[in-house]
Structure 1
Amino acid sequence: MSHFVTTSWLADRLDDPAIQIIDASWHMPNSGRDGRNEFLAGHIPGAIFFDIDQVADTSTDLPHMLPDETTFGAMAGALGISSDATLVVYDEHGLFSAARAWWTFTVMGAKAVKILEGGGLKWRAEGRPLEAGETKALPTTFAAKLRPGAVASFADVLAASQARDQILDARPAPRFSGDTPEPRPGLASGHIPTSRNLPFGELIANGRLKSDPELEEIIRSAGIDPEQPIITSCGSGVTAAILALALDTIGAREVALYDGSWAEWGARSDAPVETGPASSSGV
C-alpha cells in the first residue's frame, strides 16, 4: 500500500470533509526559515498548520519530543485534527518533516495518514491554488493511542547498541563519522556505537520515496536486515521518520524511532560515542 497521494488526487478532493490537509513544514534551526510564517503567506487551501515544536513534550529541553497520548490527543483535537479523518500531510521541502508528521499521527492511532507526493513544492510548481492566513478549523476529537514499541528510549538504544542490535542513523555521513560538527551546539560528534548509517536523502527522488526494490537494496546495502528489529535515529527525530517510512513501505514490522536521537545522545556524558565510518562498527 502506498503512503503517498498525488497533487491531482488532492486537488480533486479539496472540498471533501473526510479529508484533512496538514502542513507539517519544519526547517532546521540554522536555516533562516520559519514554517508558520511561510504557511501564513500561502498554503494549500484548507490546510491546518501542525507545528512539531509546539505539539510536543514541553517537560524536556529536547526538541519536538512526542508528548503522551492525552496531551497529544488534546492538542491535535484543539487544532481541529480528527483521528477518524484521512490525513494528508505535506511540507515545503518535498519530503522532509512530512514524514515525521506521518509517523506521529500513525503511531498515535490515526485511521489513515497519507503524504502528498512532492509536497508544497510540487503543488506550487503546478500553479495550483493557495490561500493565505490562518485556517479556521473547529475543535474536534483525536482519540490518541500510542502504538506499543513505536518509540525507543535512551535505555532502549543503549541496550540495543551493547547487544549489537540494528540501529540505523539518517544523518549525513560526515556528521555520522564525526568529521563535521553537529548543527546544534554542545553536542558530541560521532555516532552510537554499532549503529549503521543511511543518509535520508539516498531514499528520496522527486519528493517521494524511491521504488520498493530500490529502497530494499539501499537499506540492505547499509547493513540492515528489514526482517529483524530496527531502531531509527537522526539528529532530533525528524529524518529518522523518513527511515521509518521507507522501512514500513518495504514491509519491516519491528521498527522503533529513537525520539531523543543525537540531540539527546550527543549531550549525555554517559553515552558512548564512536567516530569514523559505519564500516568500523555494526554487524
Structure 2
Amino acid sequence: MAAESASRRIGLIIVGDEILSGRRQDKHFSKVVELLAARGMQLSWAEFLPDERDTLVAAYRRSFATGDVVFSCGGIGGTPDDHTRQAAAAALDLPLALHPEAEQAIALRTAEMAAKGQGTADMSAPENQQRLQMGVFPQGCEIVPNPYNRIPGFFIRDHTFVPGFPVMAWPMLEWTLDTRYRALQHVRQHAEHSFLVFSMPESRITPAMQTVETRWPGVRAFSLPSVGEAGGTPHIDLGVKGEPGAAAEALEFLRGEVLRLGGKLAPPAN
C-alpha cells in the first residue's frame, strides 16, 4: 500500500481566460506546491486552460484516464463563461444534476444573506434559482465544503473541483488533502540537493548527468544554468533529486566529475 501511495501522481489544472490573458496573475500554482510540500507530497504536472468547453472536455478526458489525483481551480460558477462543471460531466459521459447537499448549502447561504438585508430567502426567486446552478454537478459526485461562503465544489474520480478565488479554493484543497488523501502524505522519502558550478559549460557535465540516471535508478539529475544576469558570474546550479541515500551518492559523484572535468565550485577571483 505504501509503494502504491508513493507512486500516485498529482496534477493541477488552472482554468481561466483571465489568467491566460494576463488580466489576473495566477496564485494557485505556488500555493498548491506549498500545500503538497507541507505534507510530503509533490506536484507531477500542471496545465493552464481557457474557459472553452471543448478544450476543457478534452483535457478532463485525458486527466480522468490517467488515474492521477487532480485538483482543478476555476470555472465552476454559474455564469455563461463558466464551463468547468459541464465539461467534467461531458468528459465522464454523465448527466448534470443539482446535488442535494449543494442545494442545502446554497439555500443556507442565501438565507444568511437575506437576514443581512441582501436579497430574498425565497429560493423560487429567479436570482436564487440562478444561484442554485452553482450546485449542479456531474451526477454521482460528492461535494467539497467551502468554509468561506458555503458554496461547495465537487469531487469525482480523484478529481477535486474548486472555485478560482484563492480565499475559497485553498481551504477547500487543504480539506481534501487531509480528508481524502492522508494516506498519501509523508510516504515518499525524497531529497533534493544541488551545488553551484563555475567555469564549465553545461555540455561538458551532461554525460555525467546521464550516468547518474543510469547508475542510480529513481534519481534524477538537473541543471539550471545562469548566464550571469545583473553582473553576476555565469554558473550552473547542478543537482539531484530522489531517494535520500541514492541521491547523496549521486551528488558526490557529480561533484567529483565537475572537479575532474575542470569545473570550479567557487566563482573565479576577479
- The answer to which structure, 1 or 2, has the higher relative contact order (CA under 8 A, 6+ apart) is 1
- Look at both structures and tell me which one has the larger radius of gyration over its CA atoms: 2
Q: Quick check: which one's strand share is greater?
A: 2
TM-score between both structures, scaled by the size of structure 2: 0.27
Q: Quick check: which one's helix share is greater?
A: 2
TM-score between both structures, scaled by the size of structure 1: 0.26
